[in-house]
């Protein structure tokens, strides 16, 4: 009886996967005490039964892609700015006889091409990861687990981006000349028959590898969250991508790209700094009317109520009447585009509006008090389903302004504006996230450098006693044995 098998379509020898039941993002971006980082696993598999992969190196890169599109600018309407924030060399391992600096450059390399202040800073301490290659360097059975006990895995954020965790396969020849060559020095102790002697660089014959990776944020670093906003007349977005490159001896490089979602958690509406009320006061230009407004919440999220308390009283004059009160939430997008002659392009749109007609009610000595509120985003407006939030990047900035208008008779109209924060997370969900953040912060303090990675590196070499029995052929097609 033969084992069940499944045909493999579009087989890729290299894949990027998140940790089991977790997202790529560990910790909470914007909360430095939670030790935010990007973790996952790079898997390398040979698709041939009798032919292992001749591997020179495996590298992993984190790319940030920002773009703005303003059709009214004509030919140069689209601007895209890709940045490589981090590059790590996952394989081969650093030489045990090389200096500390050589090890650091071999395992971690920060290119920071045009990254500016948004660049990640990989850790230079490799003492917690370099030992995972011991099973490969020495001539011992390669399936070994590190003797160090991994830290207690803290809770992670679920993949709320609704993008699949499976990688989008892309086979291409790498034309990036800035890719780092293998800098580790292979000593006589590391040389073995499984390396190709004809290659200019030492190659390793491998059946399969599981390479864990961990990209730490630099201290105090906050990444721009993943963002995509399309409005009438313009669009802007920020996306992140993990790119793994498999360099083979005598063959074209094979690349694998996976989109990842980066969220920001220091703008949750449940934080205490957003729950203190704001009191505003404005006098009409003629000095006859005083308007006072109170905003109880400085941050709102989807399906939250935007509420404003308004008090109007006359300071000088009589027979003043109030005609209408209005409350608006204005979204302001400032786009930094070279075609705008160094001045930002500003696009404004009302994403919430509520009006109350008072039919020329007379303003008595005791004044007048009213309350205006409406759910955000406003379902009565166009494209309300395309909701943005407060964010800022190198190419654009999105802010929100509360605008209160009081229309008067026998007095000048009064306008009050105040900026508030719009969060992508509703208030009902942000409360539970705060509890998870607190748990993560406590776990990060108890673990080593806040690491959540199980430093297990499984490498099956060509001269191992275990054979490549994962694949077989049936009717001239490659299959995966279950």
Tokens of residue 395, six digits: 């190419």
Q: Strand 37-45 relative to strand 25-26: parallel, antiparallel, unpaired?
A: antiparallel
Give residue 74's pLDDT. 63
Q: Which residue has the tokens 């920001």?
A: 264
**Same domain, yes or no: 196 and 317:** no
Instruction: Average the pLDDT over each of 59-73, 134-148, 213-227, 417-431 and give the range with the smallest value.
Output: 134-148
Alpha-carbon distance of 268 to 265, in angstroms, equals 6
Residue 482 lies in a domain: no
Q: What is the per-residue pLDDT across 53-86, written as a single tens digit (0 to 9) for each?
A: 889 999 999 999 999 988 877 646 778 888 999 8
Residue 480 lies in a domain: no
**Same domain, yes or no: 66 and 147:** yes
- Secondary structure of the chain as H, E, C letters: CCCCEEECCCCCCEEEECCCCCCCEECCCCCHHHCCEEEEEEEEECCCCCCCEEEEEEEEEEEEEEEEECHHHHHHCEEEEEEEEEEEEEECCCCCCCCHHHHHHHHEECCCCCCHHHCCCCCCCCCCCHHHHHHHHCCCCCCCCCCCCCCCCCCCCCCCCCCCCCCEECCCCCCCCCCCCCCCCCCCCCCCCCCCCCCCCCCEEEEEEEEEEEEECCCCCCCCCCEEEEECCEEEEEEEEEEEEEEECCCCCEEEEEEECCCCCCCCCCCHHHCCCEEEEEECCCCCEEEEEEECCCEECCCEEEEEEEEEEECCCCCCEEEEEEEEEEEEEEECCHHHCCCCEEEEEEEEEEEEEEEEEECCCCCEEEEEEEEECCCCCCCCCCCCCCEECCCEEEEEEEEEEEEEECCCCEEEEEEEEECCCCHHHHHHHHHHHHHHHHHHHHCCCCCCCCCCCEEEECCCCCCCCCEEEECCEEEEEC
Mean per-residue pLDDT over the chain, rounded: 75
**Same domain, yes or no: 199 and 66:** yes
- The residue among 7 and 426 whose pLDDT is bigger is 426
Residue 472 lies in a domain: no
Give residue 117's pLDDT. 39
Burial code (b: 16+ CB inside 10 Å, e: under 16) for 325-341 equals: bbbbbbbebbbbbeeee
Residue 170 lies in a domain: yes
Alpha-carbon distance of 273 to 458, in angstroms, equals 47
**Same domain, yes or no: 299 and 180:** no
Alpha-carbon distance of 315 to 182, in angstroms, equals 77
Q: What is the per-residue pLDDT across 355-407, written as a single tens digit (0 to 9) for each?
A: 999 988 998 888 899 999 999 988 888 777 788 999 999 899 999 999 999 99
Give residue 455's pLDDT. 61
Q: What is the per-residue pLDDT across 171-223, written as a single tens digit (0 to 9) for each?
A: 333 333 333 333 332 333 233 334 444 444 588 888 888 999 988 888 778 99
- Is residue 124 very low, low, confident or very high in pLDDT (cuts 50, 70, 90)? very low
Q: How many domains does the chain have?
A: 2
**Average pLDDT of the residues in 466-481:** 47
Residue 470 lies in a domain: no
**Average pLDDT of the residues in 95-109:** 41
In terms of Cα–Cα distance, which of 457, 465, 456 is closest to 140?
465
* % residues pLDDT > 90 (the chain): 39
In 10 A of CB 83, how many CB atoms? 18
Alpha-carbon distance of 108 to 359, in angstroms, equals 69
Give residue 191's pLDDT. 37
Q: Enumerate residues 6+ apart whose C-beta is below 8 A from 431.
A: 270
**Same domain, yes or no: 218 and 360:** no
**Same domain, yes or no: 343 and 411:** yes
* pLDDT of 469 above 80: no
**Average pLDDT of the residues in 126-136:** 36
**Same domain, yes or no: 232 and 133:** yes
**Same domain, yes or no: 93 and 143:** yes
Residue 2 lies in a domain: no
* % residues pLDDT > 70 (the chain): 67
In terms of Cα–Cα distance, which of 264, 257, 262, 239 is closest to 61?
257
Give residue 339's pLDDT. 66
**Same domain, yes or no: 285 and 197:** no
Last residue of a domain, one of 374, 401, 424: 424
**Average pLDDT of the residues in 257-263:** 94
**Same domain, yes or no: 183 and 74:** yes
* pLDDT of 423 above 90: yes
In 10 A of CB 194, how many CB atoms? 15
Residue 478 lies in a domain: no
**Same domain, yes or no: 187 and 294:** no
Alpha-carbon distance of 362 to 255, in angstroms, equals 72
Q: Which domain holds residue 322?
A: 272-424
Q: How far is CA 179 from the centre of its chain?
A: 23
Give residue 459's pLDDT. 75
**Same domain, yes or no: 295 and 244:** no
Q: Which of 129-138, 171-180, 440-449, 468-477 has the highest mean pLDDT?
A: 440-449
Alpha-carbon distance of 55 to 196, in angstroms, equals 9
pTM, rounded to two decimals: 0.72
| CATH number of 375's domain | 2.60.40.640
Residue 223 lies in a domain: yes
Q: Enumerate residues 6+ apart whose C-beta is below 8 A from 409.
A: 320, 321, 322, 323, 360
Tokens of residue 326, six digits: 């209005």
Give residue 403's pLDDT. 97
Q: Enumerate residues 6+ apart whose C-beta is below 8 A from 345.
A: 70, 73, 234, 334, 335, 336, 337
Number of residues written out for the chain: 482
């Amino acid at each position: 009886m033969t084992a069940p098998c499944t045909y493999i379509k579009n087989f890729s020898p290299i894949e990027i996967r998140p940790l089991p039941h977790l997202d790529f993002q560990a910790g909470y971006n914007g909360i430095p005490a939670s030790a935010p980082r990007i973790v996952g696993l790079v898997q390398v598999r040979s698709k041939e039964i009798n032919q292992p992969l001749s591997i020179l190196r495996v590298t992993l890169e984190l790319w940030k892609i920002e773009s703005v599109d303003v059709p009214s600018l004509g030919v140069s309407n689209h601007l895209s700015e890709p940045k490589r924030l981090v590059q790590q060399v996952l394989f081969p391992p650093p030489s045990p006889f090389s200096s500390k600096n050589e090890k650091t450059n071999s395992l971690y390399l920060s290119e920071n091409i045009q990254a500016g202040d948004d660049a990640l800073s990989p850790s230079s301490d490799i003492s917690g990861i370099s030992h995972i290659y011991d099973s490969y360097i020495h001539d011992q059975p390669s399936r070994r687990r590190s003797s160090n006990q991994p830290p207690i895995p803290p809770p992670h954020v679920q993949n709320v981006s609704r993008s699949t965790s499976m990688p989008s396969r892309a086979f291409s020849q790498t034309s990036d000349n800035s890719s780092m060559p293998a800098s580790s020095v292979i000593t006589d102790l590391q040389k073995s028959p499984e390396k190709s002697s004809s290659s200019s660089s030492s190659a390793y014959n491998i059946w399969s590898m599981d390479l864990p990776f961990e990209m730490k944020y630099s201290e105090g670093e906050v990444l721009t969250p993943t963002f995509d906003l399309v409005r009438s007349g313009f669009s802007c977005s920020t996306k992140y991508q993990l790119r793994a490159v498999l360099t083979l001896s005598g063959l074209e490089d094979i690349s694998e790209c996976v989109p990842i979602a980066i969220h920001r958690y220091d703008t949750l509406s449940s934080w205490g700094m957003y729950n203190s009320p704001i009191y505003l006061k404005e006098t009409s230009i003629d000095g006859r009317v005083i308007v006072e407004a109170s905003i109880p919440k400085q941050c709102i999220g989807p399906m939250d109520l935007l509420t404003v308390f308004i008090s109007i009283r006359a300071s000088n004059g009589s027979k003043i009447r109030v005609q209408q009160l209005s409350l608006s939430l204005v979204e302001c997008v400032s786009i930094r585009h070279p075609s705008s002659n160094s001045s930002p392009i500003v696009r404004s749109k009302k994403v919430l509006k509520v009006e109350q007609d008072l039919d020329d009610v007379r303003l008595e000595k005791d004044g007048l008090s009213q309350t205006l509120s409406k759910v955000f985003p406003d379902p009565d407006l166009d494209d309300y389903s395309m909701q943005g939030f407060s964010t800022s990047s190198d190419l654009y900035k999105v802010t929100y302004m509360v605008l209160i208008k009081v229309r008067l008779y026998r007095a000048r109209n009064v306008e009050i504006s105040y900026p508030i924060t719009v969060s992508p997370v509703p208030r009902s969900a942000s409360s539970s996230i705060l509890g998870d953040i607190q748990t993560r912060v406590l776990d990060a303090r108890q673990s080593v450098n806040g690491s959540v990675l199980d430093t297990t590196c499984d490498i099956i070499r060509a001269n191992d006693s275990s054979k490549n029995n994962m694949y077989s052929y049936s009717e001239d097609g490659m299959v995966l044995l279950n």
